[in-house]
Amino acid sequence: MSFVEYGDTIKDGDTAIVFLGHESMFPVKVQHGTVTQTKYGVIRHSTDLIGKKYGSKVTCSKGGWVFILHPTPELWTMNLPHRTQILYSTDISIITMMLELKPGSIVCESGTGSGSLSHALIRTVAPTGHLYTVEFHQQRAEKAREEFREHGVEHLVTVTNQDVCKNGFGVSNVADAVFLDIPSPWEAIGHAKSALKAEGGRICSFSPCIEQVQRTCLAMEEYGFTEINTLEILLRVYNVRTISLQIPDLGKAAEDNSSTGFDSSSPSHQASPCANLQQGTVQFKSGVPLREVVGHTGYLTFATKS
């Protein structure tokens, strides 16, 4: 099993996603002799998972059932154990596009954190690219190495435990792109420039506060970066549902009554098709924004090495 290569069959040692519903899923490490508890009952790894195909419908001990999904960076982002605040797919997608990443790209990242963006970057640059990720916190760096090894992508990533603001990324003049998600990104702009290839390399900095963005932009200008721009991605989700609305009375029946001289109080008029139509309702699909929407996450500042 690998996060960048698909496998049909669940094997011992795999990381799989137990899917109970769109709002309820969680990762599990498949192991012989292990059981996993769900609200629908017990899942026995040896008999219910190992050897089955990914996407299978598995019946639990209480009679309920779940689906077992192959892991992807998107599913991992939704289910990973949080060691830090993470980036979600909305920001990850624009970062991948604006950094112009593709298979074979060399990317430097700091900090690694919970590895949400890291998995997406690895999948994008595979099979011939490489990710150099730097994490200041030793325990988080060790945990990231362990996860990359378990997920079958350790050959595509190098994890370094050091302070990127003081010691840089450990590589020079090779990176196609650099991503910064640290408290003071302006202190790492010089090291980012050194890590980038001779010209044309792209850099992105994620910061939650506009004051951080201002200092970072000034540092980028100082080090000769061009095409500096900052943007913010806000996601607005719509709920598609069926609604019923009353057909409006446009006065047509009243006009017909006056022109024909009919008595509006007569039973024949009250039962007319036109009157029934105007008193009815019509159903149709409508998109309605949710009452609560995801607000500000952070500012993304992009620039190009001149």
- On whether 56 is known to bind a ligand per the annotation, the reply is no
3 state SS of 269: helix
Q: What share of the chain is helix, strand, coil (3-state, %, to 5)?
A: 30, 30, 40
- On whether 115 is known to bind a ligand per the annotation, the reply is yes
First to last CA, the chain: 41
- On whether 114 is known to bind a ligand per the annotation, the reply is yes
DSSP string covering 159-184: EEES-HHHH--S--S-BSEEEE-SS-
∠ CA(96), CA(101), CA(103), 5° rounding?
125
3 state SS of 24: strand
Beta strands in the chain (DSSP E): 15-21, 24-29, 35-38, 41-44, 57-59, 65-69, 106-110, 130-135, 157-161, 177-180, 202-207, 225-231, 238-246, 281-289, 299-305
Beta strands in 211-265 (DSSP E): 225-231, 238-246
The structure tokens listed for 72 are 């992807």
- On whether 163 is known to bind a ligand per the annotation, the reply is yes
Beta carbons within 10 angstroms of residue 183's beta carbon: 12
Annotated binding site for S-adenosyl-L-methionine: 114-117, 135, 163, 181
- Specify binding-site residues: 114-117, 135, 163, 181
